[in-house]
A and B are shown apart, each in its own frame.
Chain A
Amino acid sequence: EPEVTQTPSHQVTQMGQEVILRCVPISNHLYFYWYRQILGQKVEFLVSFYNNEISEKSEIFDDQFSVERPDGSNFTLKIRSTKLEDSAMYFCASTLIGGASSYEQYFGPGTRLTVT
């Protein structure tokens, strides 16, 4: 069964450093998302991406965040200057089409980001 993959599984970085989290969505999917989950808290939406542009972003997704689909397979989340409060599990998700099916999103295993 096709699945979303994410690398690395765990990233430790120092405050102020840039990090890039990588995702490979399911190959024929067209919509891509990033979510995050701070330990013990809810899963929070960050950004959705379709047709090579951001379609929606949350208040969390400020100027420190950016997303890119640099080639036909990868989808990346960059945090320019990490803060302690960026420590969280980051999940990538993808879905084939919009409409009713957009509520069936396929999530990756996550990258645990620890900012020290």
Chain B
Amino acid sequence: LAKTTQPVSMDSYEGQEVNITCSHNNIATNDYITWYQQFPSQGPRFIIQGYKTKVTNEVASLFIPADRKSSTLSLPRVSLSDTAVYYCLVGKAAGNKLTFGGGTRVLVKP
């Protein structure tokens, strides 16, 4: 299982773009990169998943460089309600269990 490293916390302001970078130097060829969001006292929620290059959905963008040793989750124009913990997960496509690290606690200020 590839180990991931991401910042413990980040502060931002409403309307700004937030970029969270995750390092995964030991990523394997068939590993996918997935990001989850967790609000206090709630279950984690899937945000986005990618394998290489760039993926975008209505919530976020995921940038993955060619070497795949890192990835960046980009949250455009954050609001106060985006205050949450964001987890980067790396694992095999056929894997079942999710292995969560400590995540990045993002605080959006007014």
**Stretch in B14-22, B59-67, B73-81, B97-105 touching the partner:** B97-105
Query: Which residues of A33-63 have CB atoms within 8 Å of chain B's CB atoms?
Result: 33, 35, 42-45, 48, 50, 55-56, 58
A25 in the interface (beta carbon within 8 A): no
Main secondary structure of the interface of B (DSSP, over half): loop
Residue B109 lies at the interface, judged by CB distance under 8 Å to chain A: no
Q: Are A91 and B97 in contact (CB under 8 A)?
A: no
**Please, which residues of chain A bring their CB within 8 A of the CB of B23?**
none
The yes or no answer to B95 lying at the interface (CB within 8 A) is: yes
Chain A residues within an 8 Å CB radius of B45: 107
Q: Distance (Å) between the CB of B10 and the closest chain A CB?
A: 18
**Structural contact, B91 and A103, CB atoms closer than 8 A:** yes
Interface residues of A (CB under 8 A from B): 4, 31, 33, 35, 42-45, 48, 50, 55-56, 58, 89, 91, 93, 98-100, 102-110, 112
Seed contacts A35-B98, A43-B98, A89-B41; 18 additional CB < 8 Å A-B pairs: A31-B96, A33-B98, A42-B101, A42-B103, A43-B38, A43-B44, A43-B100, A44-B100, A45-B98, A56-B97, A99-B94, A102-B95, A103-B34, A103-B89, A105-B46, A107-B45, A110-B42, A112-B41
Residues on B lying within 8 angstroms of A by beta carbon are 32, 34, 38, 41-46, 49, 87, 89, 91, 93-103
